């Protein structure tokens, strides 16, 4: 069985972001049936419909990279009780021009993280809203809200065992979700 190509979209642009560290851990923990790769969003100019006739090179490259992926995994922090602007911009860039969305039909999942106790709940829930319109079937269970993320890594940036175990189970569930939704 060949592995499924999964785009990992990291909501934070910061080099040492906890969401980026979580994304790398998820890549490491993914079962062999999934091939995860981070698709960068930091160089995307803000979406402006006036540019659709002659899109910026970064938009074209992003869309071309996303188009062949079979699934998408969002890993995001919470900014002001919502998703980061860069992440929302990536959704907009990938969804246009109308009728040519790179997101359409791709099974997805969301992992949110934050230093606070509720683990980016607001960002996770807000990110779910546009997924309905973008036709991304999201995994509902298990949910992943990683609270206290600033205390979950050791000196070598390895996740503590309990969180690794939870995320390994999460990735197993995501692999099943991807397979189920690609088969339908």
Helix residue ranges per DSSP H, 96-160: 121-133
Q: Which of 13, 26, 3, 176 is nearest to 84 (CA)?
A: 13
SS3 (DSSP) at 171: helix
- The string of pLDDT tens digits covering residues 139-183 is 999 999 999 999 999 999 999 999 999 999 999 999 999 999 997
- The string of pLDDT tens digits covering residues 23-54 is 999 999 999 999 999 999 999 999 999 999 99
Q: Per the confidence metrics, is the pTM higher than 0.85?
A: yes
- The string of pLDDT tens digits covering residues 81-130 is 999 999 999 999 999 999 999 999 999 999 999 999 999 999 999 999 99
- CB–CB of 45/63 below 8 Å? no
Give the C-alpha separation, 136 to 37, whole Å.
18
- Ordered by where they begin, the domains of the chain are 4-183 (3.40.50.360)
């Amino acid at each position: 069985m060949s592995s499924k190509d999964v785009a990992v979209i990291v909501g934070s642009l910061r080099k040492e972001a906890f969401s980026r560290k979580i994304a790398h851990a998820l890549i490491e923990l993914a079962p062999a049936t999934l091939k995860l790769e981070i698709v960068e969003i930091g160089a995307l100019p803000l979406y402006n419909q006036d540019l659709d006739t002659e899109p910026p090179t970064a938009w074209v490259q992003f869309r071309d990279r996303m188009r062949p992926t079979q699934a998408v995994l969002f890993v995001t922090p919470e900014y002001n009780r919502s998703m980061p602007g860069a992440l929302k911009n990536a959704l907009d860039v990938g969804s246009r021009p109308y009728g040519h969305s790179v997101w359409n039909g791709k099974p997805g999942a969301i992992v949110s993280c934050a230093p606070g106790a509720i683990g980016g709940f607001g960002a996770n829930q807000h990110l779910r809203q546009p997924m309905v319109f973008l036709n991304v079937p999201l995994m509902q269970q298990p949910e992943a809200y990683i609270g206290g993320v600033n205390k979950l890594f050791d000196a070598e940036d390895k996740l503590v065992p309990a969180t690794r175990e939870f995320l390994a189970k999460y990735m197993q569930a995501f692999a099943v979700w991807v397979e189920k939704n690609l088969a339908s």
